[in-house]
Each structure stands twice: as structure tokens, then as C-alpha cells.
Amino acid sequence: MDRITPNTKLTCLLGHPVSHSASPAIHNASYHAAGVDAVYLAFDVRDLERAVSGLQELGAVGCNITIPHKEEALRLATTLSEEVRLIGAINTLKFGEGGVEGYNTDVNGVLRSLELLDIKGVGEALLLGAGGAARAVVVALRDRVSKLVITSRSLWRAEGLATMASELGFESLAVPWERRNYFVERAELVVNATPVGTYGEGMPVDASRLQKGCAVFDLVYNPPDTPLVKAARRAGCRALGGLPMLVRQAAESERIWFNIDPPEEVMMRAAKRFLGVENEGDGEG
């Protein structure tokens, strides 16, 4: 897209806050490269229902949903994808004459990261966090992990997610946040689905207790190499930040909205430019 016209299609992000989001940079670069006459904006909204209604009236194609509205969006959708039914959260809406379609593209983003880390048959994994992103991780780990240990600052949320994992066929265990480092020593895979490490601040676990050769996946994407990722690599672990997940889930949204094959390399470069790391690696190692 070279310029906005009355025919330009609208897509956007709805959340609170959204000023930190790389999504507009990622999607607009993709639209330009793919020749899609569309624009992507970010709106800081508190009343999700009114925002979605307004977008429908404006003729928007669809939108992404982020914190804190992913669960509330469930009641606004008329149809739900299988992933949404399993996770209980929506991150993508598509508007049409038939109503509002609800999707969750986070699962595909997690699966892309697991492929890059070569995660297949894992005995025991440790999942840090029990929010919407963690639920997507649980769904993606089906058939790849035998036992899943889940910890969160909210034990009751970890217990709820452990119940969900059990229903999906995992041997699962919820443990208090204070005991997480004990389970780090046993884990073949550690997944951080908390915000700890964003902007390079803090570490969710004691990385010195990681066992050599384990895999570490940090969903935090800013910075692309978080303190946990860097420490894990120093410890001899395979480690990956959240940037590939971010790009893949964004690409899946565009497939839903426009039925195209988005240029993911362009999207990755745009994300890295936004984060100020365009001269670093590919974000996938």
C-alpha cells in the first residue's frame, strides 16, 4: 500500500495499553510488501464491546485483541475456532456478514518456536505463568511433552491450568511460585510465559540451575534476547525469545483476514527495526 484511499481496508489492535506494541510496524510493512490495500493501527481501549461495534460500523476487516481483553472477546464472537475453545481466549477477530469470527493465532506462534527449538519428545517441562499466553503454550505442547509442571504467582490459576493440561492428556502438576527453581533443575524444557524480562529487566528463574542441554523458550520479545535467553545460552542450553512467535501469530492473523501468504521475512525485519535491533541476528537462534 503506497497511500490511504477511501478503499483502504482497516485492521487494528485493541488493548490497554498498546503504545509499546510492534504490531503496527509488522503489519504495515507486510501490507506494503504484499500489495495489500490496508492499514493497521493500534487503539488503546477500555470498553471492548463499544470498540468492536464501532469497527464493524466502519467496515473494518478485523482486529487483534490483546491484554486485558482476550477473555472478554469470547462473548462478542458468534463463531469460535477450535483453538479458542481449548484456550478460552481470543486474539484475532474477523468481521463479516455472517457475524464475528473469533480465533487464537498464539498457538501457531508457539508451534513455530517449538519447531525452531526442535522440541518433540520431552519428558518434563516447566511452564512459568498461567495467563492467556500460557494456555496457548499448553495447547501447543500437546503430543510433545509427557509431564508439565506449572507455576504462577497465583497458585489457583496454575491449578486451573494444570486441570486443563490434564484434560489434554498431560501428566500435570501445579506448584507454588516459590518452588520454581527446584523444578528448573529437572526440566528438559523451560517456558517463560510471564512478563518478567521485558525491557531487559529481571529474570523469572535462577538460570544457574538450568541443566545443560535443556531448551528454553521465553515469550518476551522486547528485547529479542532477554536476560533469560542470554543466560540459558551461556549455560549450554538451546534458547529462543518471543520474536518468532510474535511474527508467526501476526502472519496467521493476515491469513485469516485476507487469505494471503504474508512475507514473514519482511515482518521480522520490521519488528527488529521497531525494536532497534535490525543489525542483530535473525531472532531465531
210 and 118, same structural domain? yes
Give a yes or no: residue 3 inside a domain: no
Has residue 282 been placed in a domain?
A: no
Question: Do 34 and 60 have their domain in common?
Answer: yes
CA gyration radius, the chain: 19
Condensed to tens digits (0 to 9), the pLDDT of residues 31-86 reads 999 999 999 999 999 999 999 999 999 999 999 999 899 999 999 999 999 999 99
- More confident position, 285 or 178: 178
Using CA atoms of 28, 29, 34, 39 in order, give the dihedral in degrees to the nearest 10: 10
Residues 122 and 196 in one domain: yes
Q: Is residue 4 part of a domain?
A: no
Domain shared by 98 and 141, yes or no: no
Catalytic residue among 9, 70, 94, 272: 70
Residue 284 lies inside a defined structural domain of this protein: no
Same domain, 219 and 204: yes
CATH code of the domain covering residue 150: 3.40.50.720
Contact predicate 214/237, CB 8 Å:
yes
Concerning whether 70 is annotated as a catalytic residue, the answer is yes
CA–CA dist 178, 155 (Å, integer): 10
Q: Residues 62, 100: one domain?
A: yes
What confidence tens digit (pLDDT) does each residue in 225-242 have?
Answer: 999 999 999 999 999 999
Domain co-membership, 40 together with 116 = no
Residue 100 located in a structural domain: yes
Domain around 55 = 9-104+249-275
Residues 235, 150 share a domain = yes
Same domain, 57 and 77: yes
- Asked whether residue 16 is domain-assigned, the answer is yes
The domain total for the chain is 2
Each residue's pLDDT tens digit, 169-209: 999 999 999 999 999 999 999 999 999 999 999 999 999 99
**229 in the same domain as 115:** yes
